[in-house]
A and B are shown apart, each in its own frame.
Chain A
Amino acid sequence: MTRTNSPARAAGRLARAACLLAAALPVWWVVWSLAMGALQGPAEQAALYGPALRGQPDLAAWALLPSWPTLQPLTELLLDTPQFFAMFWNSCRLTLPLVAGQLLVGAPAAWAFSRLRFRGRRALFGLYLLLMVLPFQVTMVPGYLVLNALGLLDTRWAVILPGVFSTFPVFIMAKSFDAVPGEMLSAARVDGAGPLQIFWQIGLPLGAPGLAAAAVLGFLEGWNLIEQPMTFLKDQALWPLSVALPGFSGAADTLGLAFAASLVALLPALFVFLFGQKYLTLGIQSGGLK
């Protein structure tokens, strides 16, 4: 039986592999093109991509490998382009405090939703859910006025502070607190531990995967913020990569510089993704509503 099936099986396996490859191709192609673009010499690049990116006549062309690979655009970017560093540093100074704040504020709230019993819990949780859905633009005007009244407009805090209170991380962390075994909590309570102690000594260590998941998703989101900096930061010197990069690329002297900047801008997110993939997956699965 298995024998007669095996050619058909082999064919099925082959078809599956072909589908897997075909679906991965658009992802690999984009990453590959970006990386190779940063290694091409200026003449080759102008000839290949100039028609698409600099409005030259004729049509763009694509090459699998640079005919004369060079690190010149990358070194120029890293050694000779201080404004890129400023943007990069701006992104870090927005994203890192944002993520830290989300954990600091969100973890206790998540613990309360997951493990404490209080009146109005369900209703409040529903409210958090609805707030998660609201697009930024819905509260943009009064949010602007609040930040203005607090004197925070045109400072990094205008982006960081409202972002800290995002309700999405609360869901992710609550989900992982749900998995902490209840017996451990009752045992600790019998031993006379107070609520804060229980949260600190049992909840946080055991809920750490959820915190990591919230941190990974928070970082990717923070690195990508566009609407908030655009609305609340008029001073372009404060703009992070997510907002400033297209302008930088458009004005760059060479296309190589534009490609190198795009490549370096995605590296932090790529590292967080590769090292945190396990937690990212966990976070996606627990970003659920139940």
Chain B
Amino acid sequence: MRRGWSSSWGGGTRRARRGDAGALLFLLPSLSGLAVFVLGPFVGTVWRSLTNAAGSRWVGIANYQSVLGNAAFRQAAGNTARFVCVCIPLLLVGSLLLALLIRAARPYSRPFQTSYLLPMALPVASIALVWQLLFAKGGLANAWLARLGADPVDFMGTGAAFWVLIGSYLWKNSGYDMILWLAGLDGVPPALYEAARLDGAGRWQCFWHITRPQLRPTAGLVSVLSLINSFKVFREAYLVAGAYPHESIYLLQHLFNNWFAALDLGRLSAAAVLLALVLGGLVLALLHLLDRDA
């Protein structure tokens, strides 16, 4: 995975051990902190998921059964899955289009590249005010709709909230993914295009037969990072709509927070383990695909 590390270290067992000790020195601060604040707590979560709420009695898989049968959990898990399945393809396509546009208009597109990236730097807490201004009942979006003669929409109180959330996620993350696509596009050897053009290939043919296959590893990478980032959309949802938003954007994080507040720790832990398993599985599968392609 990692290229270019020095091969002159290690070798004999004694030297390998010395290498281990040296590396441990460098890793120790990071590892010890991870053990205390992440790994230990994760083991704790697994343990708690198998005991009662006070952590005093072994209950087997009862928590898991209770979670899977819980209506709020199903709703939140379904919403989260729906959100991920809708927003990631949209984001991948949209940001790829942005990257292609930026490349086609170089070198004049530099200010635009900065503009597209800017939303990822703008604090959610500041932007929440603008989202309210736009999507409140008497907000600007409805004012514009009214001018077009359309009926007003209760954006935050109906299923439209889901699409507002999708929109704000795309708004925030398109630039980030665009940068990743740009790196991928710049990595395609220009000689491939020149050869194809000599053979009379058009622009679309070049894209389909050269760019698309060459971008496959990038696509995997962008998907993994978008998946990770998609969980951060909770911030927007929470700051704009609060702890109990419209049911279409009631996400797993809302549920976790509310169970936490209610001290429903057994179920919370079981749901956390399930989420970790699903996410870990997804990432490993994507990475496996990446490795096979490369």
Residues of A near any B CB (own CB < 8 A): 13, 16-17, 19-20, 23-24, 26-28, 30-31, 33-34, 37, 49, 51-53, 55-62, 104-106, 108-109, 111-119, 121-122, 124-125, 129-135, 137-143, 145-146, 161-162, 164-165, 167, 170, 174, 178, 182, 185-186, 189, 195-196, 199, 220, 223-224, 226-227, 230-231, 241-243, 245-246, 249, 258-259, 262-263, 265-266, 269-270, 272-273, 277, 280-281, 284-285, 287-290
Contact = CB atoms under 8 A, between A and B. Distances in A.
A256 to B, nearest CB: 12
B126 A265 contact: yes
20 contacts: A20-B109, A30-B130, A51-B136, A53-B129, A60-B140, A108-B25, A111-B26, A116-B9, A116-B22, A117-B19, A125-B1, A125-B2, A130-B280, A138-B42, A141-B44, A165-B30, A182-B4, A196-B25, A223-B123, A224-B235
A276 B241 CA distance: 32
A109 B29 contact: yes
A105 B42 CA distance: 21
Contacts of B40: 142, 146
A60 to B, nearest CB: 5
A262 B125 contact: yes
Given A59-B142, A118-B19, A143-B41, A227 B234 contact: yes
B139 interface: yes
Interface stretch (B175-183, B189-197, B204-212): B175-183
B3 A178 contact: yes
B120 interface: yes
B166 interface: no
Contacts of A226: 124-125, 234-235, 238-239
Interface string B117-133: 11111111111111011
Contacts of A122: 1
Contacts of B4: 178, 182
B125 A112 contact: no
Nearest to B217: A290
Nearest to A189: B8
B38 A162 contact: yes
Contact of B2 (A16, A178, A189): A178
B115 A28 contact: yes
Given A31-B122, A33-B133, A141-B265, A135 B6 contact: no
A106 B22 contact: no
B4 to A, nearest CB: 6
A91 to B, nearest CB: 9
Interface of B: 1-10, 16, 19-20, 22-27, 29-31, 33-34, 36-45, 48, 98, 101-102, 104-105, 109, 112, 114-130, 132-134, 136-140, 142-143, 146, 171, 176, 179-180, 183, 217, 221, 224-225, 227-228, 231, 234-235, 238-239, 252-253, 256-257, 260, 265, 268-269, 272-273, 275-276, 279-280, 283, 287, 290, 294
Q: Chain B: interface secondary structure?
A: helix
A196 B265 CA distance: 44
Given A52-B136, A60-B139, A165 B183 contact: no
A11 to B, nearest CB: 14
A285 B272 contact: no
Contacts of B227: 133
Contact of B117 (A263, A280, A287): A280
Given A118-B22, A226-B234, 6 more contacts: A60-B133, A106-B30, A112-B27, A246-B129, A269-B122, A277-B117
Contacts of B9: 116-117
Nearest to B146: A59
Given A20-B105, A141-B269, A246-B125, A27 B116 contact: yes
Nearest to A199: B26
